[in-house]
Amino acid sequence: MSSRKPNILLIFVDNQPANMMGCYGNDEIFSPHLDELASKGVLFRNAFCPNSMCSPCRASMLTGLMPSQHGVHTWLDDEIMDQWPENYNAIAEFETLPEKLADAGYNTALIGKYHLGFADKPQNGFKHWVAMEKGTMESFYDVPMIDNGQHHTAEEHSVDYFTKKSIEFLDDQADKDEPFFLFLTYNAPYGEMYADEPEHRYSHLYSELPMNSVPREGVSPELIDWVLVRKEKMPDYDFDFYKELPEMPNNLFYMRQLYSQVSMIDDGVGKVIAKLEEQGVLDDTLIIYAADHGLSNGQHGFWGHGEDTWPSNMHRWANNVPLIISHPDLIEPGREVENLVGTTDIFATVLDIAGCELESPESISGLSLSPLLQDENIDFRDEVFMEQEETRTIRTSQWLFMKRIENTEYDFQHDLYDLVNDPDERVNLAQDPKYAEVVAELSARVDEFYAKYTNPRWDLWKGGVVKSNSTRPFLWKEVWGDDWAPKY
């Protein structure tokens, strides 16, 4: 390895649970390049995102902060962009990962999905900027893009477009002396919303797949409750999509399409890594592969995000994401780590490896994963915290505890699962008197964590608001009054 700081390739995909990769045990997924990356790197079995929606998880990864600290509690709604302030950037007030790396001499690039505000110009310390005009899309094809100030439409599959643009960036970078930070944010896998999507070069691999890796369960009552609550409380919102949610776990077309997009990503990752190898810089590049959030594709009787039930949930597959880290000089290759980690730890990890210091390390809950890259027996924390508006969660090696806000008319109940004896999270013990002490202890730990890692302005549980959007605005108006409204 050279004496300069390592290059950093951070691949952040959209909507992928950990169980949708071959290296995580799914034999119905074709992902040879990702599997090879895992074989040469460290695979984290228990990586979790702090929220089950894209914008908050992206904000948390780029700032190291929890949603209740940065204020983005769900996806930023592109349909109300006309209400956003001029040049709106949801995390402009925070010191971000690319800003820190740019100050340390890195050439910083974002290529892919941004979804944290207007994308017409580089944001948050990124210098090179190729992004979707909006955070959401209606197809992988003909997507409006902004390429360093130039607006155009990418006719090809957008995963291929972002791969092509990443390779162009690496070619331009080849003659430069400074290291690079490439944030490659693929806008895939998706599948459940694109019924008219044309086939691509990997579709045939899945056209007859039985999809045995997707459970067929009865529809979750909490999903039905959410569909009905939305219809009653939010009649002006798009009801058709939520009405389709109970049908998705048994829709083979959607499931096959979703899986096929993983192979498109895999193909792109393989090409980008091949370019690094061709340029002779692969051994000088830290590669991180992760997803913004997971997705339940049938587990626990629902298809979608953790917020797609009432109340929201944080069962494993909605929040468990793939995390692979590779670098020949920094890791012991081919290892699997069972420790509980979070995508909020990526912020601290990258800055640690790049030799950057935080001005206020006490403000972030994330820890550098560097010690785990070499020694799996190191004493590391045994907890991760997650939140989804009315639900705050702690997961340990023993317990999963979902705490619900209590001062509402809905009489939300807490959830407690014994992960040792009930790893599939089926038996809720929270109302069993025998577990009252466990509930009390875990509830106190949740409260202690959020007492430290919240900003009062964005603390929904204590009268705070959200930036731009909430999926439950009626709830917060009922709790905090009719004056409650998102802020910017």
- Alpha carbon 118 to its chain's center: 20
- For tokens 């992206």, what's the residue? 58
pLDDT recorded at residue 281? 96
What value does the mean pLDDT take over residues 169-191?
93
pLDDT recorded at residue 239? 66
Write out pLDDT tens, residues 262-295: 999 999 999 999 999 999 999 999 999 999 999 9
CA-CA distance, 128 to 171, in Å (whole number)?
Answer: 13
**CB-CB neighbours of 194 under 10 Å:** 18
Nearest C-alpha neighbor of 163 from the set 114, 224, 111:
111
Write out pLDDT tens, residues 365-382: 999 999 999 876 788 999
For the chain, what is the mean pLDDT?
93
Write out pLDDT tens, residues 76-127: 998 889 999 999 999 999 999 999 999 999 999 999 999 999 999 999 999 9
CA distance from start to end of the chain: 44
| 179 contacts 105 by C-beta, under 8 angstroms | yes
Confidence check: pLDDT of 4 > 90: no
Backbone angles phi, psi at 340, to 5 degrees: -75, 125
H helices of 85-190, in order, are 97-103, 158-173
Write out pLDDT tens, residues 442-451: 999 999 999 9
Cα atoms in the Cβ-side hemisphere of radius 13 Å centred on 433: 0
pLDDT recorded at residue 154? 97
CA-CA distance, 47 to 68, in Å (whole number)?
Answer: 20
CA-CA distance, 442 to 384, in Å (whole number)?
Answer: 12
pLDDT recorded at residue 192? 60
Q: Answer with the residue of higher pLDDT: 241 or 125.
A: 125
Nearest C-alpha neighbor of 33 from the set 43, 45, 21, 25:
21
| 141 contacts 246 by C-beta, under 8 angstroms | no
H helices of 279-411, in order, are 316-319, 344-353, 370-374
pLDDT recorded at residue 407? 86
Question: Which residue ranges form the domains of the chain, and what is each CATH number?
Answer: 7-382 (3.40.720.10)
Backbone angles phi, psi at 243, to 5 degrees: -65, -30
DSSP state of 138: S
Confidence check: pLDDT of 20 > 90: yes
- For tokens 């498109």, what's the residue? 264
Confidence check: pLDDT of 194 > 70: no
Write out pLDDT tens, residues 295-333: 998 899 888 899 999 999 999 999 999 999 999 888 888
Write out pLDDT tens, residues 389-414: 999 999 999 999 999 999 899 999 99
Write out pLDDT tens, residues 451-462: 999 999 999 999
The model's pTM is 0.97
pLDDT recorded at residue 3? 59
